[in-house]
Structure 1
Amino acid sequence: MKTLYFDCFSGISGDMVIGALLDAGADFNRLEKELKKLEIEEEYSIQQNKVVKNGITSTKFDVVLNNHSQKHEHSHAEEDDHKHLHSHEHTHTHTHSDEGDHEHTHAHTHSDKDDHQHTHHHHDHSHRSYQDIVVMIKNAGFTEQVETMALKIFKKIGEAEGHIHGLPLETVHFHEVGAVDSIIDIVGAAILMNDLEIKVVKSSSVAVGSGKIHIDHGVYPVPAPATLEILKGVPVQQSDLKAELATPTGAAIVAVLTEEFGTIPSMEIKSIGYGAGTKTFPNHPNVLRVIIGEE
């Protein structure tokens, strides 16, 4: 039985998952082709690059937003792939003492639908509701396995964030950046897991990091509240690194897909992949390792 093992010694994020799966042999061209079924390709492009993290050659996956002048690296340890939900109707900027300013993505709740009719225009997705994203995934024509996997992961994030902020799932709206990153990371992970014909997913405990992150609402502990909510029932491991190692998207992927947590299972190893995070630590390779084999 084809088994995939997530080795989360440096945490997990959505882009690290995709990078690791590509590094382990998944098909980038197939990923790109399948993602076009979502019909939002005018909003982004994807790219992969080989990078070296503390001596380990790994694959860095990035989503580049076409309507933003800079590359949006929604990556692990920089907190950029937060999909925090807030009942505020504007964009926030989060400030981190060690990284400078990063524009973060947020979900929103709206009571006045008339003010947000633009959310349904094809070329102006300033906000996307959770329900819009569900419909998009269902209408894309993915295989049943890909559709089911993606919807479960998205629901996990939405429910956790809604719980933190006291919002029902139906009222959740993702800001444009967060929606695109979430969709690509989550649907992309499902596409690649299916491409690799993975039957069973197992995982180590998840390193979450330590310290605090500074946002405009104040100082929050690591792991962030939404990430911690998603990781209910998932074993986590202590880390002395003063950084956020597990992001909401990565946490949801491992929480939903993993059938068993523990050490590396007994299996014949077929392929190994390393997915790189953005940040580089002095004495610690910032990568997610996946091990694929036959049990």
Structure 2
Amino acid sequence: MATHLHFDCFSGISGDMTLGALVDAGLPFTDLVRGLASLRIEGYRLSRKRVERGAITATKVDVRIERGFQAPLTLAQIARILRRSGLPPVVKERSQAVFDVLATAEGKAHGVEPSQVHFHEVGVIDSFVDVVGGVLGLHLLDVQRVTASAINVGSGTLMSAHGALPVPGPAVAALAVGLPIYAKGPERELATPTGIALVRTLATDFGCLPSMQVRRVGYGAGTADPAQWANVLRVFIGDEPASSAAVETIVELQTNIDDLNPQVYETVFERLFAAGAVDATLAPVTMKKGRPGTVLSVLAPRERVEAVLAVLFSDTTALGVRTHEVQRRVLPRRFTSVQVRGREVRIKVADHEPGRSKAAPEYEDCKRIAEQSGNPVKDILEEAMVAFRRTQGRKKRTT
């Protein structure tokens, strides 16, 4: 059975919390230290200890920086260090993906291209250990699937070199686009850019704890210890259910509409998904007095219902919305990528039984390439699937 890890981010997520939670859940600390040594980076020391956070005993992993790099590093320099390391290929690839996501977010926050983002000479060592350590830890634990809860990002303000900033900060806000987030608990930053980048890159689904047979639970402590608050990241590690389709509980929201300009629905859908909806559909119906109408149906995790309701009431003419919990069976999904005309296209893959899967290119990626190249989007979609099948064929020949 496939090993499944679920991040429970009720107090946010950071790089050191991730390392602590993995070690607490059974990742051998010596294996983590030995694996990170293959990065061939000096100037730091890794330590661990047991601490109390609220009523929870957790593992705190600290990166003790002794000296940093002589100058800030660019994304290209980070990629070179990863390539030259002795890390397993899959760890190199996923670690680079996390740094790419981080650089994109930092670039948006500071108004520069990702390639122009410079990682601070001391902070980059911390980032290397957190990012590569998190990815390596999942690899050492043989985790095949990663999911996560909605992320508590905290609230209030944080201090930066440029003065006070609202929580979440600009980089976390950029990384959180499209993810389910909320604010609860002490007024402070609970989610860091590194933590969000890790979970954004590695998790294939966000929502409530999915069906799994739990084998281990781990708690990773954050540095802060607010009063009356357990500042920890919890991870559940277990086995996928015998059926490949996981059962999850989700909320269905429905409303009947007969007086909304159909042109508005495009914007309504965009805002529903931004609010955390996982699906939205329109169906034509005949309403009272023979009037034609539309049923707008939305699926959303429990923790995003209020945000979705706010969109339905503000952006449509709905005066009432029906809500009820339903169960749905969902195939585990993962993402891989292929190159089409020199550009990256993400492929969503769903495994429905051993050795068999379904795959589909991300439409927005193909649409962007079609617009840039002047080719029909249907051709780009076909080329992406051909490229994906080619990579699958190579994998079968090497196994």
Place the TM-score, normalised by the shorter chain, in its bin: 0.7 to 0.9
| Offset, 1:232 | 1.2
Residue 156, structure 1, aligned to residue 101, structure 2: yes
Residue 238, structure 1, aligned to residue 183, structure 2: yes
| Offset, 1:55 | 2.3
Counterpart in 2 of 1:65?
65
Contact 2:39 2:82 in 1 (8 A): yes
Counterpart in 1 of 2:16?
15
* Cα gap change, 1:30 to 1:216, in 2 (>3 Å): closer
Residue 276, structure 1, aligned to residue 277, structure 2: no
Paired amino acid for 1:33: R
Distance in 1 (CA, whole Å) between partners of 2:203 and 2:59 is 22
Residue 184, structure 1, aligned to residue 137, structure 2: no
User: Relative contact order (alpha carbons < 8 A, sep ≥ 6): 1 or 2 greater?
Assistant: 1
Distance in 1 (CA, whole Å) between partners of 2:44 and 2:183 is 36
CA deviation digits over 1:215-261, x for unaligned, max 9?
Answer: 34232110001011011111002214200000000010111111111
CA deviation digits over 1:153-175, x for unaligned, max 9?
Answer: 11100011112212112222211
Pick the structure with more strand per residue: 2
| Offset, 1:128 | 1.6
CA deviation digits over 1:70-129, x for unaligned, max 9?
Answer: xxxxxxxxxxxxxxxxxxxxxxxxxxxxxxxxxxxxxxxxxxxxxxxxxxxxxx523222
Residue 146, structure 1, aligned to residue 147, structure 2: no
| Offset, 1:134 | 0.8
Counterpart in 2 of 1:38?
39
Residue 29, structure 1, aligned to residue 30, structure 2: yes
Paired amino acid for 2:38: K
Matching of residues 206-245 of structure 1 within 5 Å: 206-245=151-190
Counterpart in 1 of 2:115?
170
Distance in 1 (CA, whole Å) between partners of 2:109 and 2:161 is 17
Paired amino acid for 2:64: V
Distance in 2 (CA, whole Å) between partners of 1:30 and 1:132 is 26
Residue segments in structure 1 that go unaligned for 5+ positions in a row: 69-123
Counterpart in 1 of 2:56?
56
Residue 200, structure 1, aligned to residue 200, structure 2: no
Residue 137, structure 1, aligned to residue 138, structure 2: no
Distance in 2 (CA, whole Å) between partners of 1:241 and 1:55 is 16
Distance in 1 (CA, whole Å) between partners of 2:163 and 2:24 is 38
Distance in 1 (CA, whole Å) between partners of 2:7 and 2:26 is 15
Distance in 2 (CA, whole Å) between partners of 1:44 and 1:164 is 28
Larger Rg: 2
CA deviation digits over 1:185-230, x for unaligned, max 9?
Answer: 0000111000000011011000001001233423211000101101
Matching of residues 68-87 of structure 1 within 5 Å: none
Distance in 2 (CA, whole Å) between partners of 1:213 and 1:276 is 20
TM-score, scaled to structure 2: 0.58
Counterpart in 1 of 2:235?
290
Paired amino acid for 1:213: L
Q: How many residues align?
A: 239
Counterpart in 2 of 1:76?
none
User: Alignment RMSD, CA only?
Assistant: 1.2
Q: For 2:122, what is the secondary structure of its paired residue?
A: helix
Distance in 2 (CA, whole Å) between partners of 1:63 and 1:130 is 21
Distance in 1 (CA, whole Å) between partners of 2:50 and 2:127 is 23
Q: For 1:3, what is the secondary structure of its paired residue?
A: strand
Counterpart in 1 of 2:275?
none
Counterpart in 1 of 2:262?
none
Paired amino acid for 1:158: A
* Cα gap change, 1:240 to 1:30, in 2 (>3 Å): closer
Counterpart in 1 of 2:346?
none
| Offset, 1:67 | 2.9
Distance in 1 (CA, whole Å) between partners of 2:115 and 2:201 is 20
Paired amino acid for 1:35: L
Distance in 1 (CA, whole Å) between partners of 2:190 and 2:32 is 25
CA deviation digits over 1:136-187, x for unaligned, max 9?
Answer: 0111132122111101111100011112212112222211111101101000
